[in-house]
Amino acid sequence: MFYGYSFMGIDIWYLVLVLPAFVIALIAQAKVKSTFNKFNQYRTMSGLTGAQAARRVLDANGLQFVRVEHIKGELNDHYDPQTNVIRLSDSTYNSMSIAAVGVAAHEAGHACQYAEEYAPIRFRMALVPVCNLGANLSWPAILLGYLFGMRPLVFIGIVLFSLSVLFQLVTLPVEFNASSRALAAIDSSGLMNQDELSGAKKVLSAAAMTYVAALAVSVANLLRLILIFGRRNRD
């Protein structure tokens, strides 16, 4: 029997909302890896490594105090605002490829955002402690509220979960802006020619789509929770 959210014990809203979003997220992850691997095979004419490119972008923006360090791994590059360090992975730090230079410049773009106090990244940083709390407590609150019939606790859990969705939403302009800064810096400093710049744009665009896909999964889960528990409240 169909109860509005299940059919023969199958969660309809999971199949309709979450599963398609999850598949899209998997496709986005595969796309970023394949795009990076493709342009990781082509060396830039400048011959600069990812680390050198990041350093060039940082220095051009007066960020000599930001360090560039090497870390183990692949595609786990990131900027740490607490220590003012850009950490570049094995696939980026010493590589002279189009993909590596693009990724390194993107991380330098994040450093520039923090230095300029770019509004969306300041808002995202302010959300971090609240979102961490929400991530840890949302599902326990929902499950306990459901098991013990405490509807207000379920509602609190859904609100806490929505904070992580908000965090991912705010992350989108941060990531797109960092990529725009990276491409502008690459172009203005002559780190790549126009053909190489086009390849770097494809790499960064593919990476940005993983954030869009992650947001889609979170939104789908949030809608699923609202539809399931909202109906049960009405019943």
Extract the tokens encoding 217. Answer: 């999964």
Token representation of residue 172: 């989108």
**pTM of structure:** 0.88
Q: Quick check: is 84 in a domain?
A: yes
Q: Is the pLDDT higher at 166 or at 233?
A: 166
* pLDDT, averaged across the chain: 92
E strand residue ranges, the chain: 6-7, 10-11, 67-70, 78-80, 85-88
Please check whether residue 113 lies inside any domain of the structure: yes
Is 95 within a domain? yes
pLDDT score of 119 more than 60: yes
Whether pLDDT at 235 is above 70: no
Q: What are phi and psi of 70, to 5 degrees?
A: -100, 135
Taking residues 162-167, report their average pLDDT. Answer: 94
Is residue 1, in this structure, part of any structural domain at all? no
> Which residue range forms the structural domain that includes residue 13?
6-234
Task: Identify the pLDDT of residue 231.
Answer: 63
* pLDDT tier for residue 145 given thresholds of 50, 70 and 90: very high
Residue 60 has pLDDT above 80, yes or no: yes
Question: CA 112 → CA 61, 65, 101, 152, 182, distances in Å?
Answer: 7, 12, 16, 43, 10
Residue 233 pLDDT level (bands cut at 50, 70, 90)? low
Q: Which region among 13-17, 44-48, 118-122, 195-199 has the lowest average model confidence (pLDDT)?
A: 13-17
pLDDT per residue as tens digits for the range 80-108? 999 999 999 999 999 999 999 999 999 99
Number of domains in the chain: 1
Predicted confidence at residue 232, as pLDDT, reads 55
What is the Cα Rg of the chain in Å?
Answer: 21
Indicate whether 234 pLDDT > 90.
no
Exposed e or buried b per residue across 57-68, where buried means at least 16 C-beta atoms within 10 angstroms of its C-beta: bbeebebeebeb
Does residue 24 form part of some domain? yes
Q: Which of 107, 116, 117, 196 is catalytic?
A: 107
Annotation marks residue 107 as catalytic:
yes
| 11 compared with 154, residue with greater pLDDT | 154
b/e burial code for range 207-225 (CB count within 10 A of at least 16 → b):
bbbbbbbbbbbbbbbbbbb
Question: Taking a C-beta distance cutoff of 8 angstroms, is the pair 130, 88 a contact?
Answer: no
